[in-house]
Amino acid sequence: MINPIISSSVGASLRIGSGSLNLGAGLGNIGVSAALLWNNTNYSLGIRLNLAECKIGIEFSSSVQYNNSIDSSFVNLSINGFAVVMAFLLVMYGYSASPEPVPQY
């Protein structure tokens, strides 16, 4: 069963000519996306943040329509919160490539 608090959201869409801009906010999905139709090709780009899964990502897609068929491609790059925290800790506290010398007694 899906938690109704996590699945609820609010959004807005703005259409300009052959393109659109979409804004969405909710605990499960916060994002901005844009779509454009240009020369029989649909392009879409979006940035998403999912607080429930602690994940952030960028999506790009394109689809071209030929006669009676559609050729589509989709790219999704995302990273989870654990990797972001680990990268932050690495940057803040660093990594020493040369270890401290051990004193000899």
Q: Are 18 and 38 in contact (CB under 8 A)?
A: yes
Residue 77 three-state SS: strand
The C-alpha atoms of residue 12 and residue 48 are separated, in whole angstroms, by: 15
Which pTM does this prediction carry? 0.65
Show the CA angle centred on residue 48, arms to residues 2 and 84, nearest 5°.
95
- Is residue 65 within 8 A of residue 53, CB to CB? The reply is no
Contacts of 64 (CB under 8 A, 6+ apart): 40, 41, 42, 70, 71, 72
What ranges do the domains of the chain cover?
Answer: 4-93
pLDDT digits (tens, 9 = 90+) for 36-88: 998 888 999 999 988 878 888 999 999 998 888 888 999 999 988 888 888 88
